[in-house]
Amino acid sequence: MIVNGVEIRDSFAEAFPMVGTRLIITADTPDWAMTAARVTTGFATSVIGCGCEAGVERVIPPEDTPDGRPGVAILIFAMDFKGLKTVVPLRLGQCVLTCPTTACYAGVEGGKRVPLAKTIRYFGDGFQTSKKFGDKRFWRVPVMDGEFVCDEDTGSVEGVGGGNILILARSRGQALHAAEQAVKAMSKVEGVILPFPGGVVRSGSKVGSKYKALFASTNDAYCPTLRGVGASALPEEVGSVMEIVIDGVSFEAVAQATRAGIEAVCEVGAARGVVAIDAGNYGGNLGPFHFKLREIMGGGA
C-alpha cells in the first residue's frame, strides 16, 4: 500500500489492556488549568518506569465544565486497578491540590471507583466539609487561596495501552516534522493520549534485553546507526525513525487516532522525506489488541 509515495507496511501495532480514568481540572484561568494538567501528567510516559501513563486529553470550554470555569481533561492509565487507585490520589494531592485556583471533578461516571477527595480531604485536618448532590459527594478543603473543591471519587474504564506507529524518514528533521503533524491530528481525537514528550518517542523499545535486570531495551531493528550490525528493519535510505505511542479509553479510540496519524504523515509525503510507516509488535505475544495498519487505512489484510 502506497499513499503519496509513503509505504504503509503490512504490519500491526500490538497493544495491551490498561485501566484508566479521566479527571476534569478547572481553574480561574485557562493557563492555570493547563499548568495543573501538565504537572499532574508529568513523569508518566511509560508504566515501565513511571507506574502509570498520563497525558492531556483536551481543553474544555467554561460552558462545558462542572463549575463554569476553564478546564482541561486528563487521562491516567495503569496496568491494573490497584495501581490506578495508588497513583491518582498521589498526583491529585501533589499537583492539583497545590496549584492555585484549581478544582477537580470526575471525568468518568461508570466502572470501579477511584478515590479523589475521599483520600485528599484529610489534608483539611478536620476543617473539610462535604455536600451531596444526588449520588455524588463533593468535598471542600480549606487552602490558603480559598477552597479546593473536588469530587469524592471518579469512575474507571478498561482501556488500551501501547498502540503505536513508527515513522521512517530520510533524516531526523524530516521524521520529526512528520511526527509533529501526526501529533496535531491525533490530539484532536477524544479519548486518547500520547504520553511521551510532545507525543513523540525517539527511544522505541523491544521486549527483553541482554541484561537480566531489564525487561525492555532499545529497538535495535529500527536504529539507523545499527544497520549492518544486526537484523535491520530499515531500508538503506532511512536515516531516522520516530514513534508515536497511543493510549485510549477503547480500541475504537486508538484505531481512530492511528488512522488520523497515518493520514497526517502521508500528507507530508515522500517528497518531504517520509519513506514508510510501520508499527511495533512482538509477534502477538505482548497483548491481545492488534491494530493492523492496512486494515485501519481501508486496504484489507
The pLDDT score that the predictor gives to residue 156 is: 98
Quick one: pLDDT band at residue 75, thresholds 50, 70, 90?
Answer: very high
Q: Write the DSSP assignment of 39-50 as a string of letters.
A: HHTSS-S-HHHH
User: What's the CA gap between 155 and 113, in Å, rounded?
Assistant: 5
Q: What's the pLDDT tens digit per position in 123-146? A: 999 999 999 988 899 999 999 999
Neighbours of 229 (CB within 10 A): 9
Range of the domain at 31: 17-157
Q: What residue has cell string 497515518?
A: 262
Q: What's the pLDDT tens digit per position in 284-293? A: 778 899 999 9
Listed residues 111, 133, 157: the one ending a domain? 157
Cell numbers describing residue 125: 485536618
Number of structural domains in the chain: 2
Q: What is the mean pLDDT of the chain?
A: 95
User: What's the CA gap between 228 and 220, in Å, rounded?
Assistant: 11
Neighbours of 44 (CB within 10 A): 22
Listed residues 157, 181, 202: the one ending a domain? 157
pTM: 0.94
* Spatial contact of 108 and 138, defined as CB atoms under 8 Å apart: no
CATH code: domain of residue 196 = 3.30.70.520
User: 264 and 185 share a domain?
Assistant: yes
Q: For the residues 73-92, what does the mean pLDDT come to?
A: 98
The pLDDT score that the predictor gives to residue 216 is: 87
The pLDDT score that the predictor gives to residue 300 is: 57
Q: What's the pLDDT tens digit per position in 91-112? A: 999 999 999 999 999 999 999 9
| Residue 301 within a domain | no
Amino acid 266 reads C
The pLDDT score that the predictor gives to residue 195 is: 97
Residue 88: which residues within 8 A CB-CB, separation 6 or more? 21, 23, 76, 114, 115, 116, 154
Q: What residue has cell string 465544565?
A: 65
Helix axes 251-268, 172-186, angle to 10 degrees: 140
User: 74 and 121 share a domain?
Assistant: yes
User: What's the CA gap between 37 and 114, in Å, rounded?
Assistant: 18
User: 45 and 167 share a domain?
Assistant: no
Strand ranges, E, within 27-121: 53-60, 71-78, 103-106, 114-115
Q: Find the range with the poorest average confidence among 61-70, 140-149, 199-208, 237-246.
A: 199-208
User: 81 and 172 share a domain?
Assistant: no
H or E element, residue 267: helix 251-268
